[in-house]
Structure 1
């Protein structure tokens, strides 16, 4: 296993919890970093959580090109298809809202906002776009601290809340589309349950599993190989599933401690996975058929919980990861 060294770092001030590289060819040098700060201020008996989203050009010295102030950021994802002719970043916030920012040349401007829940004390914990492979499907799935999951649907006048259902009895940490069949959504929560849903009728889950021993925090459909899904948990375990037969995972990888907060498939390599592993750091896992999964690269420079990590779409060995209480973002390279 190779231990990567930091190429560059930036102190984000507020606690950093999300890093996302832009996937569009003319903007792949841009990296968004989201932050979260719980303040002592109150509004309607709810403590205010502030956030900043930084936009970096990673080909330049690590100085933000832009800083956007929002409520605290819990998750961010770029759409892989244009939204009204713009390259758009979706931001899930601590007031149950989703903000959409689109590129206007080399800066981001707000293009939409939708309140995914009416209760300002409910956090929007995650979001995912249906458009990773299906460029004609502009829907967004969000999950919330009250256990609900909903689908945000584009209309001529902007995004609106479409399907909305109570998916879990505890915090729904994650929801994600099956990129190969965007009528299918997966969710995971603090109850340790991993569920599947057909969004055309989400009244009953298509499956419910409790394979993970602790809360399910992350999942992602493999954009390079159909029927492959990765899930991760506070229990430090990554499971790889064949979505055609979900009774048991087809591969298991125990990460080097820390719990797992985010998993990201490599942009082009169907067998490579990035893990933001909270207390332990960030890791690159190589998965090969008929072989044990192997951690090929570790990044251990974070001195606090590594919550965010993402691959560059330009230099696909480049990784950005960020950590919470030490409010730091690092760039580093995965081993070949």
Structure 2
């Protein structure tokens, strides 16, 4: 069964399931393809008759990414085109409860810490900087420099406290220690093109995946990153976002500017399933942590889809 919602006149950039409520998800959107206009944060609940918007909140500039707080089920954080990191309470409709402004350009990625007893936020920007935040404070805790171009993605390790990875237009993926902002622990020359996305394996703390404008997905062992441990090909255009499955160590999902979502087994070079439900760039993608196999995506065609792929059903 597929559930669908429309983000009317708003183009989808990112979507993420709530870590608390199985049927709830947040979607970050922008007007006019993010080039101009405002942004809207949607909170949807899945119901038998579709995805129902329970909260719709506007900002005066585009919204490019979204992450749920891991210490408060009602708090969502977004990254905006005006360089702000916005903190929202989904029970309040009048706007964000906090706007953190240190980046000088678009904030393209935000991610909440995934390890126990750490409640930190990362933001990554077109200004080439990554910032570490405690959202209870008004200023960032640290700034990470070194990327030579836009930082498109930043993601905490789900295993190693204080460790995160970033993907950049400088063709690298970098691994950082949050306590040492002076330099990355590792620089991987991941692709011959811009790298738009990265994600950690949920089953092996040493494995990291990258997705590039070249349409390729590569897996890396951070203990020996001279050569990729796998390469997945099939996307006809840039890989916009990749997600490692929380339920199967060998499964990976990706979405692309080629209008598709693809499911992969990292032991096979070609996709095990290709989902063609969008008519524009697919930007957002996530797995539901509560319902094995269930996924959500969003795209520039103003459509949000919730579904369980056939290849995931076979693994249940």
**Fold match by TM threshold 0.5:** yes
* 1:113 equivalenced with 2:99 (yes/no): yes
Identify the residue that residue 190 of structure 1 maps to in structure 2: 169
Residue 8 of structure 1 deviates from its aligned partner by 2.9
Residue 236 of structure 1 deviates from its aligned partner by 0.9
* Cα deviation 1:45-104 (Å, max 9, x = unaligned): xx854111111111242331210112311111123x314xx4432211111111223454
Identify the residue that residue 229 of structure 1 maps to in structure 2: 208
Matching residue within 5, 10, 13 for 1:14? 10
Q: How does 1:146-295 map to 2 (within 5 A)?
A: 146-155=127-136, 158=137, 160-287=139-266, 291-295=267-271
Matching residue within 127, 131, 145 for 2:126? 145
Q: How does 1:42-57 map to 2 (within 5 A)?
A: 48-57=36-45
Which moved further from structure 2: 202-211 or 145-154?
A: 202-211
* 1:31 equivalenced with 2:25 (yes/no): yes
Contact preservation (8 Å) 2:240, 2:257: yes
* 1:93 equivalenced with 2:80 (yes/no): yes
Gaps of 5+ in 1: 41-46
Residue 38 of structure 1 deviates from its aligned partner by 4.2
Q: Secondary structure at the match of 1:62?
A: strand
Identify the residue that residue 59 of structure 1 maps to in structure 2: 47
Q: Distance in 1 between matches of 2:55 and 2:74?
A: 16
Q: Measured at CA, do residues 313 and 12 of structure 1 come closer, stay the same or move farther in structure 2, by a change above 3 Å?
A: farther
Residue 294 of structure 1 deviates from its aligned partner by 4.2
Q: Measured at CA, do residues 59 and 225 of structure 1 come closer, stay the same or move farther in structure 2, by a change above 3 Å?
A: farther
Residue 107 of structure 1 deviates from its aligned partner by 8.4
Contact preservation (8 Å) 1:217, 1:261: yes
* 1:125 equivalenced with 2:108 (yes/no): yes
Contact preservation (8 Å) 1:49, 1:94: no
Q: Measured at CA, do residues 58 and 283 of structure 1 come closer, stay the same or move farther in structure 2, by a change above 3 Å?
A: same
Contact preservation (8 Å) 2:174, 2:187: yes
Gaps of 5+ in 2: none
Contact preservation (8 Å) 1:10, 1:330: no
Contact preservation (8 Å) 1:257, 1:280: no
Q: Distance in 2 between matches of 1:315 and 1:235?
A: 32
Q: Distance in 2 between matches of 1:285 and 1:145?
A: 30
Contact preservation (8 Å) 1:8, 1:331: yes
Q: Measured at CA, do residues 264 and 108 of structure 1 come closer, stay the same or move farther in structure 2, by a change above 3 Å?
A: farther
Q: Measured at CA, do residues 196 and 225 of structure 1 come closer, stay the same or move farther in structure 2, by a change above 3 Å?
A: closer
Residue 14 of structure 1 deviates from its aligned partner by 1.1
Q: Measured at CA, do residues 283 and 12 of structure 1 come closer, stay the same or move farther in structure 2, by a change above 3 Å?
A: farther
Contact preservation (8 Å) 1:6, 1:301: no
**More strand as a share of residues:** 1
Q: Measured at CA, do residues 124 and 230 of structure 1 come closer, stay the same or move farther in structure 2, by a change above 3 Å?
A: same
